[in-house]
Amino acid sequence: MSSSIGQLAVSVNQVAGCAREASTLSLEADRKARDGGVAVERLVRSTREIADDINTVVSTMEELGTASERIGAIVEVIDAIADQTNLLALNAAIEAARADEHGRGFAVVADEVRKLAESSAQSTREIGQLVKDIQAKTAEVVRSTTASGTKAESGLEMAALAGRTIADIPSSVSKANRLIEQISMAARE
């Protein structure tokens, strides 16, 4: 009987030791869970800032797209003016030819106006192409940035979920710790 009591005492001491170790591990898990919660809060805040920055970029790119559309409209007006000027220069050259010698000076002016109109038309075509390229690139950036914003929002939701889950860990650890303390107290008795 005495050996059974001795074995029981050894077993109780082992249970108490395991309970103390489990309690220590439980407290460490609680501390790590709290640290993880703080890290997730920071992650959520940082992800929110990234999402806000992405939204700002999207908004700015949309404004740039609108501005380039206005530039495109202005280029069309300038191109129409250049076409009209070229037509006027042609008419002036015809009238100068009819006026023979009296129209020679006017013919030179008409020719220079025609060259200027052609140069303006060429420049507006080049500007128009640049505007189209800018519009295409702007639309591409808006699509890409919008997709990134959607991903950032999704990441934000996942980080918030992880934060809530980690925030629940200390409560569970605390319950486990209380049970371990009860086991430890029962083993000591």
Backbone φ and ψ of 100, nearest 5°? 55, -125
Q: What angle do CA 151, 46, 167 make, to 5 degrees?
A: 95
Rounded to the nearest angstrom, the gap between the alpha carbon of residue 185 and the centroid of all alpha carbons in its chain is 55
DSSP state of 189: -
Instruction: Give the homologous superfamily in CATH for domain 2-188.
Output: Methyl-accepting chemotaxis protein (1.10.287.950)
pLDDT tens digit sequence for 132-174: 999 899 889 989 988 988 888 898 888 888 888 888 888 887 8
pLDDT-derived band at 188 (thresholds 50, 70, 90) equals low
CA-based nearest residue to 51, from 138, 139, 155: 155
**DSSP code per residue over 90-126:** HHHHHHHHHTGGGGHHHHHHHHHHHHHHHHHHHHHHH
For residue 189, the tally of other CB atoms under 10 A from its CB is: 5
Q: Where are the domains of the chain?
A: 2-188
Place of tokens 């000027």: 85
Whether the full predicted model's pTM is greater than 0.85, yes or no, is: no
pLDDT tens digit sequence for 30-84: 888 888 888 888 988 888 898 899 889 989 988 998 998 999 899 999 999 999 9
Res 122: pLDDT: 93
